[in-house]
Amino acid sequence: MNEVIKTISEHASVRKFTDQPISEEQTRMIVECAQMASTSSHFQAYSIIEVRDTARREVLKECSGGQKWTVTAPLVLLFCADLHRGSRYFDNIDKDVFSNTEFYTVGVIDAALAAQNAFIAAESMGLGGVIVGGIRNDVQKLIDTFNLPELVAPLFALCLGYPDDKPGVKPRLPREAVHKIDSYTEHDDDELLRNYNDEVKEYYTQRTKGKCTDTWGEHCGQMMMAKTRDEVGYVLRKNGFLKK
């Protein structure tokens, strides 16, 4: 155990914040840590928009189905996959290449790694937060609100602040179900998952004082069916991604 592992192991999303602001220096440090994440071929295929403007914060709230922490968090960072910069500044490029699904994937991976670095850096400073992918309920509105050019895709917001709540750590899948050796095996998964479902049911029951008693499978099934967001692909194609 060291401080980094301790910070990572104690992660729990926080959705309630005190009024204590995050300084510009902290924000700069968080963004610089994001930038130090590994990045495919050094592309750095993402942009991070700090959302200060209240009206734009309200749009994030509206797009995410009323998630108020997009307004109340002292710091909100909108992570976008960004191939636009490459289309302007990479030399000797066939412009069609950016429409390739591979490069969309690269942008999403780069942005996600950067965001997780930012999140851990923030948590190491005593901040807490939550990633909000719910904003993708209305990708076109995000593109319009944040003036995103072609080949920039809004992915999620990272909302950060000093915690005014201490949610319990949410149990993860048993390591054995995730950590496979040499090939994809699932021999013991039925039993592992049965036990995990019980553990998560217990977690939700306690956390919500009995209002939610979902197992992991029930919870994830509901979440997946509730928001298929089919129009994301349509809007991304319109914005230059995923044509090939």
Ligand X SMILES: Cc1cc2nc3c(=O)[nH]c(=O)nc-3n(C[C@H](O)[C@H](O)[C@H](O)COP(=O)(O)O)c2cc1C
Binding stretches for ligand X (CB under 6 A): 11-13, 64, 67, 130-134, 156, 170
Q: Please, what is the minimum distance in Å from the beta carbon of residue 20 to ligand X?
A: 21
Q: What is the DSSP letter of 129?
A: E
CB nearer to ligand X: pick between 11 and 56: 11
Closest-CA residue to 85 (of 43, 139, 42): 43
Handedness of CA 41, 76, 53, 233 (dihedral sign): positive
CB nearer to ligand X: pick between 11 and 238: 11
Q: Please, what is the minimum distance in Å from the beta carbon of residue 91 to ligand X?
A: 33
Q: How many helices (H) and strands (E) does the chain have?
A: 11, 4
Q: Please, what is the minimum distance in Å from the beta carbon of residue 11 to ligand X?
A: 6
CB atoms inside a 10 Å sphere around CB 64: 21
Q: Where are the beta strands (DSSP E) in the chain?
A: 46-50, 75-82, 128-132, 152-161
Q: Please, what is the minimum distance in Å from the beta carbon of residue 209 to ligand X?
A: 18
**Backbone phi and psi for residue 163, each to the nearest 5 degrees, phi listed first:** -65, 140
CB nearer to ligand X: pick between 12 and 97: 12
3-class SS of residue 212: coil
CB nearer to ligand X: pick between 55 and 226: 226
> Which residues are CB-neighbours of 97 under 8 A, at least 6 positions away?
103
CB nearer to ligand X: pick between 181 and 226: 226
Total count of residues recorded for the chain: 244
CA dihedral 47, 51, 52, 57 (to 10 degrees): 170
CB nearer to ligand X: pick between 45 and 155: 155
Q: Please, what is the minimum distance in Å from the beta carbon of residue 135 to ligand X?
A: 7
Q: Please, what is the minimum distance in Å from the beta carbon of residue 14 to ligand X?
A: 8
Six token digits for residue 126: 């005593």
